[in-house]
Amino acid sequence: MGHEAIEAFLRTSRQLELVPTRANGQLAFACYLSRPGGSTAYSTGVLVLVISGDRISSITRFLDTEQQRPLPLQCDRGPSRCRIPLRQGQPLCRSPFAVRHTVLMSRYGTDAYRGLVDLPPLVEAAAKAALETGFELSSLPSQGRLLQLLAGGIDAGVIGETGTGCGVGLAWLASGAREGVRLVSIERDEKLVDLARLVFAGVPAVTVLHGDWRELRGAGPFELLALDGGGQGKADEPAIEPEEWLRPGGMVVVDDFTPGAGWPPVYNGRPDLARLRWLQHPRLLATEVRIQPDSSTILATFTS
């Protein structure tokens, strides 16, 4: 069964515009609903297909928990991250395929900061910069709170981050960091670097570097290292070697995994090697923490 046939079936089931895409590396359709007479398409969710051999074994529909609003398709990340903000949808259309489950997804990234109050001032400034510039991929507030907490556990040394974006995750880290701890983040996009540098202009402990994530290693070894723009070992890119980046006892944080209940963890119908690499690394003590229903983070301490 090909994309077109599935799309044709779903089109007749509901008045949805379906846009082929990928979600968490799997085949998927972003669903849009046009209001009668209206020219704006509204995001209503995403259908994720699981393929076994040449057949579809299940379709999972992810629904938004937020209000309906006009939104563009924003799915531009690697396999681990699909940035389609979703809204609470209507009942699943009847499908000839097995429907595995329906998951309510919360808002992702930058969008999740809309309307949030009582944020640390640096986080508020970074989120504002991200919202104003249209940068969608900021760390979730729940991930940020975890970063803030972890940063507070470091009493000296350097905290690192790959992929600064507009500085939201870095702002959470800086908000939790103790006096004397330095923070260095690296970003390859020059415009984002400029924005982030403005956010941290009055914070001497923070340095934002412009370059490829691999160049961050020179600023280490790190007590805490958040991998958010390289080094996670997802997709085709290499993962960092803990002994080259971390101090003994240092911790690496890798976010944006889809929570799973089984073992071994499965991704796209196969063992999730990226996740297993962190969880089973012989020199890491690692665990996976669910930070919200649809997202988990791996924390791993380098045991020297």
- From 134, 128, 173, 123, select the one nearest 150 (Cα to Cα): 173
Shortest spacing between CB 89 and ligand SAM, in angstroms: 26
Q: Which stretch binds ligand SAM (CB under 6 A): 148-156, 187-195, 217-225, 283-291?
A: 187-195
Residue number, 228 or 272, with CB nearest to ligand SAM: 228
Shortest spacing between CB 264 and ligand SAM, in angstroms: 26
Shortest spacing between CB 230 and ligand SAM, in angstroms: 4
**E strands, the chain, where?**
16-23, 26-34, 41-52, 55-64, 99-105, 158-162, 182-187, 206-210, 222-227, 246-257, 266-267, 270-271, 284-292, 295-302
Binding ligand SAM by CB under 6 A: which of 163, 176, 242, 250? 163
Supply 25's token pair.
């590396």
192 binds ligand SAM (CB under 6 A): yes
Strands of the sheet with 41-52, listed across from one edge: 16-23, 26-34, 41-52, 55-64, 99-105
186 binds ligand SAM (CB under 6 A): yes
- Classify each residue of 218-252 as buried b or exposed e, where b means 16 or more C-beta atoms within 10 Å of its C-beta: ebbbbbbbbbbbbbbbbeeeebbebeebbbeebbb
Binding ligand SAM by CB under 6 A: which of 14, 188, 197, 281? 188
- The residue whose Cβ lies closest to ligand SAM is 229
For residues 295 and 257, the answer to whether their CB atoms sit within 8 Å is: yes
Residue number, 182 or 210, with CB nearest to ligand SAM: 210
d(CA 237, CA 277): 13
Cis ω before 238 (30° cut-off from 0): no
Shortest spacing between CB 209 and ligand SAM, in angstroms: 9
Binding ligand SAM by CB under 6 A: which of 141, 160, 165, 265? 165
Q: Which stretch binds ligand SAM (CB under 6 A): 54-62, 174-182, 184-192, 244-252?
A: 184-192
Supply 114's token pair.
């809309």
Residue number, 18 or 82, with CB nearest to ligand SAM: 82
Residue number, 137 or 298, with CB nearest to ligand SAM: 137
Please report which helix (H) or strand (E) contains residue 5, including its range. Answer: helix 3-13
187 binds ligand SAM (CB under 6 A): yes
194 binds ligand SAM (CB under 6 A): no
- From 159, 162, 175, 161, select the one nearest 124 (Cα to Cα): 175
Q: Within positions 209 to 238, which residues make up the interface with ligand SAM, using CB under 6 A? A: 212-213, 228-230
d(CA 182, CA 159): 6
Binding ligand SAM by CB under 6 A: which of 56, 150, 168, 181? 168
Shortest spacing between CB 3 and ligand SAM, in angstroms: 28
Dihedral angle over CA of 279, 228, 138, 144, nearest 10: 50
- From 41, 48, 17, select the one nearest 31 (Cα to Cα): 17
Cβ count near 126 (within 10 Å): 34
For ligand SAM (CB under 6 A), the number of binding residues is 19
Q: Within positions 93 to 152, which residues make up the interface with ligand SAM, using CB under 6 A? A: 137-139
Q: Which stretch binds ligand SAM (CB under 6 A): 4-12, 63-71, 183-191, 262-270?
A: 183-191
Interaction site with ligand SAM (CB under 6 A): 137-139, 162-165, 168-169, 186-189, 192, 212-213, 228-230
